[in-house]
Amino acid sequence: MSIARTLAINLIGLKGEAIDVEVDVSNGLPTYSLLGLPDATLNESRDRIRAAILNSSRTWPNRKVTVSLAPAWLPKSGSAFDLPIALAILAASSQLDPVKLDSAFFLGELSLDGSLKPIRGVLPTLIAARELGVKRVIVPRENFKEAGLLRDLEVLSFSNLSEVLRYLELGERIDNPILLESTESTSNLDMSEVSGHQESKFALEIAAAGGHNLLMIGSPGSGKTMLAERFTTILPPLGEEESIEVAGIHSIAGTLNDRDLLSAHPPFLAPHHATTIPALIGGGSSSIRPGACSLAHRGVLFIDEAPECATGILDALRQPLESGKVTITRSAVTATFPARFILLLAANPCPCGRFAGRGRACECSSLQIRRYLSKLSGPLLDRIDLRLKVEAPTRVELTHSSSETSAVMRARVISARSIATERFADQSFKINSQIPPNLLRERFRPTKDSLALLHNLLDSESISARGFHRAIRVAWSIADLKGVSIPGKEEVEHALGLRAGMQGE
């Protein structure tokens, strides 16, 4: 009897669970048993691994092969187990020194000819492996740049099983691809392209400075989508750890190719209003994958024509907006994904979209208008800090060429966030939208006269307790942009006006 062991990682959400891969090759009828609650992908690995070993000029053991993935009670999924299982089989059948399996952490899917194919979720897998003390990892060639983001790991990449075996037996290495340095991604979009909308742009600065959610209501062609698409250009660039976190989520979802791997630009997700709850929140039967709100983590989630969404779609965002994460439970596993994003919603003022200005072109009845806007539920609107009435630019504004660039606006946002970061130096949060309610009433409360104004509105039930706290948070963001040390009555009134949909500085 011969037993070989190696390590693997099973991803559940962004969390990686250590899996002991044990292979026993013993006398008996030639069979292959895979134990440990494998999914269909893992069950099919036998034929992939067998063909890969044979096509790599090695021998498949003509004996009883038992593969155990421990802990046995945890469901396993994915094709990343192919390479460690294949190496363990070769070690258990005396074709490879078992001690060599301790020299690295192995990750990769095998094709029938022995080639190593790229897999999803490399970054979170290697982060989990690093926490277990792993120093050297072996990954497929196509995953090297992703794995190379973790600078404290020695990453080796190979194209096929034969190259991995030559490295383990002879120390023969293959030159790795050249890693690119992390750079801030640039966008062709710029706020200078948007004519007019000065008040709306300042509201976007407030949202960017404090991480506040925003609703824009305006007729078709008024500029809502243009403003939303350029919103990420005024957000501060992501830090290195934030970029790795975002890349890890996109790696699991298989959308990493849709954005620059080393991008410092905040993600921008704009799902269609016909999207489903699993696509928005995340889900899956056997393998749970992140949805649009998690892919928008550290960035922006924009939903155009929001009232056209099916019943329950927008309300599904209420929980992630409060907690900053999404927890998805299936019969056997529970996965949690981060979902700290800025929500931008855009809506027409009525079904036909022409209830703007004097509203003379609108053909909708008052009942139709109420029904249309009532699709944005009260609890959801209570979580929207800023509500803008976006008017179409005038002739003068359309011909007015001078407008601030995104770089100028972003500089003000970065300055405001720096003020907030310094203020919250001893706290776990860094932006105004995350200030806990108890601190808003104590350490970070506004001036007495502004607080009295909010208490009167609260007593008259003009605002809810959530609205009370959110108004103070917005007031802090306005104060940071203006360079005011403590929000006063002017900042609070401005915050309440934006929350009620009445713009004005």
Q: Is the pLDDT of residue 368 over 90?
A: no
Q: Is the pLDDT of residue 13 over 60?
A: yes
Residues 250-262 have a mean pLDDT of 81
The neighbouring-strand residues paired with 155 are 137
Tell whether omega for the bond before 71 is within 30 degrees of 0, i.e. cis. Answer: yes
Residues 190-219 have a mean pLDDT of 92
At 274 the three-state DSSP class reads coil
Name which of 104, 311, 94, 314 is nearest 215 in CA terms: 314
The neighbouring-strand residues paired with 26 are 64
How high is the mean pLDDT of the chain?
90
Q: How confident is the model at residue 355 (pLDDT cuts 50, 70, 90)?
A: confident
Instruction: For residue 258, count CB atoms less than 10 angstroms from its CB and return exposed for 0-12, middle for 13-18, buried for 19 or more.
Output: exposed
At 321 the three-state DSSP class reads helix
Cβ pair 411, 208 in contact under 8 A? no
Cβ pair 449, 489 in contact under 8 A? yes
Q: What digits encode the pLDDT tens for the residues 380-427?
A: 998 999 999 998 887 777 776 567 899 999 999 999 999 999 999 999
The span from the CA of 109 to the CA of 490, in Å, is: 60
Q: What digits encode the pLDDT tens for the residues 47-75?
A: 999 999 999 999 999 999 999 999 999 98
Residues 462-489 have a mean pLDDT of 94
Map tokens 């992939």 to a residue. Answer: 48
Name which of 94, 77, 4 is nearest 43 in CA terms: 77
Query: Two tokens at 336?
Result: 């949690």
Q: How confident is the model at residue 370 (pLDDT cuts 50, 70, 90)?
A: confident
Cα three-residue angle 313-378-347, rounded to 5 degrees:
60
Q: What digits encode the pLDDT tens for the residues 275-291?
A: 999 999 998 766 788 99
What are the phi and psi torsion angles at 488 (to 5°)?
-105, -165
- Using CA atoms, how far residue 49 sits from 54, 108, 382, in Å, is 9, 11, 54
Burial 467-478 (b: 16+ CB within 10 A, else e): bbbbbbbbbbbb
